Structures are given as structure tokens and as C-alpha cells.
Amino acid sequence: MSEIDGRIAEALTEEQERLSHEFPIDVYDPAITSWESIKGDILNAERAQFGENAAMEDELRGFFHDPEGVTVIRKDASTGKVVGFSTAGPADKAYDGKFHPQRISSQLASELSDSREALLPIQDRDGKTAYVHDTVLDPNFVGRKLVVGLVATLEKELAEKGYTYLDRDAAYDNGYAANVSKTYTNNGRLIYQSQPHGSVWGRQVYFVIRLPQVDK
Ligand SMILES: CC(C)(COP(=O)(O)OP(=O)(O)OC[C@H]1O[C@@H](n2cnc3c(N)ncnc32)[C@H](O)[C@@H]1OP(=O)(O)O)[C@@H](O)C(=O)NCCC(=O)NCCS
């Protein structure tokens, strides 16, 4: 068993093991599962969670079909319905060819004294960086820890694809950012978290996370 599999196995509690049967997780492959067959569930979950700020179909389809990215989906085994997904791709691409200026600016630099690593522009870091575009569960399936296996699988796949870092934003006001912070502080992989910054989705916290290591 590789180191990464060992860590994931550790994280898979009995509850997560049970959930993985009731709600299996797949790495999305458009050659196996057509976008047409899942887009209804994906768009419903996205719109139910984000309303008028939901991502458009074209954008989501682009994320799901990005050969450099990774998308994982979670289904309800009893109905076949997709109940959640998480999608990530190359961070430099997500920021339109360059790291988001405000995230390496003097503003960020002044917040940081002990996390120099997070300050480096993506292309100067010692490994590839992925950015989490979106993580969503259908509201009827929230609060059952279904996100845990989803994110663990996303991270494993990204690491196996050669990524070293994961950048993401998480909403501040509803406590998601606190959950993300707690999760990665506890597992020792949190490199940096910003102060809350404004966005169309409300205040968000930006995180730089180290992905698990994979055996080479
Ligand atoms: C955020 C969301 C995916 C959480 O899903 P969930 O499975 O219902 O999460 P739960 O509340 O059951 O939390 C399960 C555990 O995962 C942790 N967690 C929650 N979100 C996490 C994330 N994005 N990454 C890692 N861990 C996370 C929680 O801290 C909690 O840990 P604990 O068991 O140690 O307390 C879901 O509420 C959602 O779809 N929200 C709307 C969309 C959104 O804002 N997405 C961005 C989230 S940052």
C-alpha cells in the first residue's frame, strides 16, 4: 500500500466505509459517463446551493472535461442520482495564466510572516498547484459527512496526477472556511489561510494546502 493510500485508509472511518457503499465515489471520465447523463443532477445541486451565483453549464462542463483537471462525483447507489461533486484544475489556468494578483500582492505579503511558501507565484513553487473550482452537495444530502470522501479522493487523484499543492477558497460567513481550516490544521497540511476577502459569493477565505505525497 502506498503512503497516500495508507493515509486515506486511516481517514476512512467505519462511517466513511459505510458511506462509500451507499454513496460511491467515481473519478469523472467523460469517455465513460456522458455529461448529458449527469448534467441535470449537477446543475440542480449547483443552483440549489448558489442561486443566481451558480456556475453556468458551459463553465462546469469545461471543468469536468479538462484533461489536466480532476473531478469526482458521488452518487446515491439506490437511485443512481449524483448527489455531489468536487472539481479542480491547474491553478495558473484558473487564474487566467497568472496567479491572482491580490493573492501574491504586498497586501498578502504583509499578512504573512511565517508562511513564505504561500507567497510564491504558482509557477515558482516547487510543484504543480491545483485550484478547487467548486465543491457542492445537493442540499438534501448535506450534513452527512459526504464531503469527506469526496475531497480525499480528489486530493489522491490530484497528487497522482503530479500536483503538490491545492489552493481553494471557502465561504466564511456560513462556517465552511472554519471547517476547511480545522480539517487541514488537524492533518498538518495547511500552509496558509488568508483573512476573509470579498467575492460575489460573500466573504471567503483563501487557503494553500499541501497535497498528500505519492510514492514515485
Ligand atoms: C460544504 C459542503 C460540501 C459540506 O458538505 P457535508 O458533507 O454536508 O459536510 P459536513 O457538514 O457533514 O462536514 C463533514 C466534515 O467535513 C469537514 N469539511 C466540510 N467541508 C470541507 C471541505 N470543503 N474540505 C475538507 N473538509 C471539509 C467538516 O469540518 C466536517 O468535519 P468533522 O466531521 O471533523 O466535523 C456542503 O455543505 C455544500 O455543498 N455547501 C454549499 C456549497 C459550498 O459552499 N461549497 C464550498 C464549500 S467550502
Dihedral sign computed on CA atoms, order 30, 35, 37, 39: positive
Residue ranges of domains in the chain: 3-210
The tens digit of pLDDT for each residue in 134-192 reads: 999 999 999 999 999 999 999 999 999 999 999 999 999 899 999 999 999 999 999 88
Among protein residues, the one with the nearest Cα to ligand 1's atom 27 is 180
Task: Give the global pTM.
Answer: 0.88
> β-pairing, 128-137 with 163-171?
parallel
Q: How far does the centroid of ligand 1 lie from the alpha carbon of residue 143, in Å? A: 8
Angle at 48 between CA 53 and CA 211, to 5 degrees: 75
pLDDT in tens, 96-149: 655 555 455 444 555 554 455 556 666 667 788 899 999 999 999 999 999 999
List own/partner pairs for 138-141 with CB under 8 A and 24 or more apart. 138/41, 138/44, 138/45, 138/48, 138/81, 138/83, 138/84, 139/45, 139/48, 139/49, 140/83, 141/23, 141/76, 141/83, 141/84
Residue to mutate, 16, 137, 141, 147, ligand 1, most ligand atoms under 8 Å from C-beta: 147
Q: Pocket around ligand 1: residues whose beta carbon is below 6 Å from it?
A: 49, 135-137, 142-148, 151, 170-171, 176, 179-180, 182-183
Which residue's alpha carbon is nearest to atom 16 within ligand 1? 148
Q: What is the CATH number of domain 3-210?
A: 3.40.630.30
